[in-house]
Amino acid sequence: MIDIIHSTTHVAGGLLLIAFGMLAAAGAIVLAGALLFEACKYFIKRGIIETYNVASVRYYMAVMVQLGRTGLLKHVEDARREPSHDNQ
């Protein structure tokens, strides 16, 4: 009887160790993903600012905000309504 209890506690302890190991591995994967995301965001932002000057970055951001407010489809429809200068 004692051997059964002893074996059961060993099995339960082993399962707990496996569960905590998997939890630690999942946490490490999530942490690595978050760090990779932040690194990509930092280097992309830094690359944009170094490639373009600050005024052009602000201009493009303002254009994107304006397109977001008015809607991209409305912008495309307005562009289609304008007469083409190529066929003159």
Does pLDDT of 29 surpass 70? yes
User: In this predicted model, which residue has the larger pLDDT, 3 or 75?
Assistant: 3
Do 44 and 73 reside in the same domain of the chain?
Answer: no
Identity of the amino acid at 53:
N
Do 40 and 59 reside in the same domain of the chain?
Answer: no
Do 27 and 62 reside in the same domain of the chain?
Answer: no
Do 32 and 56 reside in the same domain of the chain?
Answer: no
pLDDT of residue 72: 60
Question: What's the mean pLDDT when you consider all of the chain?
Answer: 77
- Angle of CA points 49, 54, 57, to nearest 5°: 75
pLDDT band at 52 (very low <50, low <70, confident <90, very high): low
pTM above 0.75, yes or no: no
> Region 5-13: what's the mean pLDDT?
89
Task: Show the domain range for 1.
Answer: 1-48
Number of domains in the chain: 2
Do 72 and 87 reside in the same domain of the chain?
Answer: yes
Q: Which two tokens stand for residue 66?
A: 């304006």
